[in-house]
Amino acid sequence: MQRRACLAAVGTALSTTLAGCSSVLSAFDDDPCGGEECHIGMNRTEFTPAVYEVSAGDTVVWKNTSEADHTVTAYESGIPDEAEYFASGGYESQAAAYEAWEDRGGRLGTRDTFEHTFEVPGTYEYFCIPHEGAEMIGEIVVE
């Protein structure tokens, strides 16, 4: 009888420990999106993959695959001159996105998505406002 109680206790402790690690385990996943659900995932402080290549006219889908809140915010100086500015929340400038973040504007919660269609070839640099200091930066290369 003591053996059963001991095994039950160990099993309960192990399952509780592993349940708490689900977000940690996702950090080791090379492709948190997989399939057609999204193209770029967001873990605690990075976009995965950090660099993503598409053709002009393609739509890219980001998905928050972590427990933290994130944004997808273009650097105005990091997109082609003719390109449309993009930011989660639909803001038309980097300054507007920063200002909106003060009230959590543009926030992508866990499992939320954001998408943008890239029409102009070139390199697009973007970041996550709350994790910019941790260098949560990504790049889209449009050919």
Q: What is the DSSP string of 3-35?
A: HHHHHHHHHHHHHHHHHHTHHHHHTT-S-SS-T
pTM comes to: 0.78
Q: Please report the DSSP string for the chain in residue order.
A: -HHHHHHHHHHHHHHHHHHHTHHHHHTT-S-SS-TTT-SEEE-SS-EESSEEEE-TTEEEEEEE-SSS-B--EE-GGGS-TTSPP-BTT--SSHHHHHHHHTTTTT-B-TT-EEEEEE-S-EEEEEE-GGGGGGT-EEEEEE-
What tokens were used for 101? 């973040």
State residue 111's pLDDT score.
94
State residue 33's pLDDT score.
78
Residues 62 and 39: beta-carbon distance below 8 Å: yes
The proportion of the chain whose per-residue pLDDT surpasses 90, expressed as a percent, equals: 74
∠ Cα 130 133 139 (to 5°): 85
Confidence of residue 32 (pLDDT cuts 50, 70, 90): confident
Each residue of 42-84: pLDDT tens digit?
Answer: 999 999 999 999 999 999 999 999 999 999 999 999 999 999 9
* Pairwise CA distance, residues 6 & 97, whole Å: 54
Asked whether residue 3 carries a pLDDT value surpassing 80, the answer given is no
Asked whether residue 10 carries a pLDDT value surpassing 60, the answer given is no
Asked whether residue 31 carries a pLDDT value surpassing 70, the answer given is no
Higher pLDDT, 12 or 134: 134
CATH numbers and ranges of domains, the chain: 38-140 (2.60.40.420)
Asked whether residue 18 carries a pLDDT value surpassing 60, the answer given is no
Asked whether residue 36 carries a pLDDT value surpassing 80, the answer given is no
Mean pLDDT of the chain: 85
Confidence of residue 101 (pLDDT cuts 50, 70, 90): very high
Higher pLDDT, 22 or 1: 1
